[in-house]
Structure 1
Amino acid sequence: MNNLLYVYALCVVALFIKMFAISCYQGFYRIKNKAFKNSEDADFVSVAAQAEELPQVVRAGQAWANDLENIPLFWVLGGLCVALNAAPELTLWLFCIFTIARILHTAAYLRAIQPWRTVFYTVGIICLLVMAINAAMAAWQHL
């Protein structure tokens, strides 16, 4: 169980860094192009506010939104798997595969690469489904 907790912690941190990188990516493009939609941001650097976000910023926002549909589920299901010590070896693999799939999904999303974006998304979803089954089976065994 200890190894499972440590791997879970490392995956959570890796996913945090990945999500933080998306924010930095957006900021980089805004600053590089001096293109800010919010007037207070534009005023701060003495440029006019833009009516629309840059395409790179919009795309990164879409990747971020997709993360918000998946990563919180990983936190909850992963935490349950750790707490229940649900099939530790399988769960360890699921944690690692999910994390790698989400990182690759973001890279594919930012570069608009299909079918890989969908492949990585699907791999992540399958990991979540197996984690849910894994946690349910472990809970059922303890009833």
Structure 2
Amino acid sequence: MNSTLHVYALCVLLLFGKMLFISCYQGFFRIRHRVFTNAEDARFFQRQALPQELPQVQRAARAWANDLENIPLFFVLGGLCLALDTDGQVTAMLLCLFTGARVMHTLMYLGGWQPWRTMAYGVGLACLLAMAGLVTARIFPAAG
């Protein structure tokens, strides 16, 4: 296994852990405050189902939704970079930078900290664009 693949695998695991954290974060607030919107969950805890989630759960759900718009693109573009054997150092740097940016984005989102959340989002987006550029360069090499 090459080192870029190791980096990619580590980044995938970190992003998995981050998304698992968001799920646990939501569950923690629901259980701690015993506030549930699903009738079966509320019944299980002998509570009344409420029409709206807690603010912390809503915020975490929006962070999760943002992840679902960005992280699958990372998986695909990162996989294509590996399959097309793009520059290993550049690819590894982009993989790590994207992963760090997504972790920071989640922390900034949960904390409600601007402009840091937007900056982290922008760094992650720039990494995706750069990976797309690497893939494009391998698919359409400059005419020699």
TM-score range, shorter chain: over 0.9
Partner of 1:68: 68
Equivalent-residue separation in structure 1 for 2:79 and 2:51 (angstroms): 42
Partner of 1:124, secondary structure, is helix
Partner of 2:140: 140
**What aligned pairs does 1:92-103 form with structure 2 within 5 A after superposition?**
92-103=92-103
Task: Give how far 1:70 is off.
Answer: 0.3
Partner of 1:88: 88
Quote the sequence identity (%): 56
1:30 counterpart = 2:26: no
1:79 counterpart = 2:79: yes
Q: Deviations over 1:44-82 (max 9, x none)?
A: 011111111000000000000000010000000000001
- Give the superposed CA RMSD: 1.4
1:104 counterpart = 2:117: no
Which amino acid letter does the alignment assign opposite residue 140 of structure 1?
F
Partner of 1:52: 52
TM-score, with structure 2 as normaliser:
0.96
Partner of 1:78, secondary structure, is helix
Partner of 1:124: 124
Partner of 1:9: 9
Equivalent-residue separation in structure 2 for 1:12 and 1:140 (angstroms): 27
Partner of 1:47, secondary structure, is coil
Task: Give how far 1:139 is off.
Answer: 2.1
Which amino acid letter does the alignment assign opposite residue 96 of structure 1?
C
Task: Give how far 1:25 is off.
Answer: 0.2
Equivalent-residue separation in structure 1 for 2:25 and 2:85 (angstroms): 37
Note the residue ranges of structure 2 that are not aligned, 5 or more in a row. none
Equivalent-residue separation in structure 1 for 2:17 and 2:109 (angstroms): 17
Partner of 1:35, secondary structure, is coil
Equivalent-residue separation in structure 2 for 1:124 and 1:41 (angstroms): 36
Note the residue ranges of structure 1 that are not aligned, 5 or more in a row. none
| Superposed structure 1 runs of 4+ greater than 2 Å apart | none
Equivalent-residue separation in structure 2 for 1:83 and 1:103 (angstroms): 25
Task: Give how far 1:85 is off.
Answer: 1.0
Equivalent-residue separation in structure 2 for 1:6 and 1:25 (angstroms): 28
